[in-house]
Structure 1
């Protein structure tokens, strides 16, 4: 098959893809609803997108804002505003880049790492509770398949878009 060519999915493959897509939309909506509820109950909580920057700085170490923007697929101006918020909260600090003193490195503070670890512990406990009735094999399979799907999704979204045969009605596609 020529490079870039794709096969036409079978009806069974399309039916499974439709079910996966529907369940993903359902999951995203549930997560968004839970986030709104959490924000309402904790008005001082950091927005999910902003918190995601802290996660990257804790896991990957200090980095420049441009590198952080690339890592989270975001615009540098958005990152700048979000980092400013994390700095004001004392979760992130700016330091001079030792390689280029004109540049700034962003790093999680000790408080930022503590907040990350606490949130991660709570998240992991909640997920473990949700999956406690699942067999060990099912839990492991979910983790493996979800990681595989996420990696493939990430690879797919980083490719240039192919021209669509027809415009997509985004509102209708969500249903």
Structure 2
């Protein structure tokens, strides 16, 4: 058998020792990683147990979207009349009854003006109050399937634009909710041109 030179045998021994050291380091790292993973698993399990004990179920993250909105259920016994905000914008105010209200009744609720609750919310009207006019009469008639006439006890020519919008939107939504409706305002001084509600 041929023997290797002394210098070659020395290099081989150093290489083998290096390989054994590398394997030992890898094994130690694996053991450490396993210990860390085990500790993490224990921590997660412990957190879950604590949450369950408090009545809170662990859950994944939920992405937030737009702000939540609250919808108020409205039945056929609820109608809306339109008053004006301090800035002059149309604002609906609910009026409820035990039975569905015809458009003429909703108009009367508008002409009676804001309630104390409406006024506390800053609402007002630019229409003449019905209770202050002797012998006042009003009504809602159908001219054709898409046009309504509102008969009033006061001249309609001098009405402000916000006052006309109060009448038009209240009657349009009461008579044909959700549909495109024209409304003609009629007073002792004649008719105004048909208008649509534009909120």
Normalising TM by the smaller chain, what interval?
A: under 0.3
Q: Higher Cα Rg: structure 1 or 2?
A: 2
Q: Under a length normalisation based on structure 1, what TM-score does the superposition of the two structures give?
A: 0.18
* TM-score when normalising by structure 2: 0.17
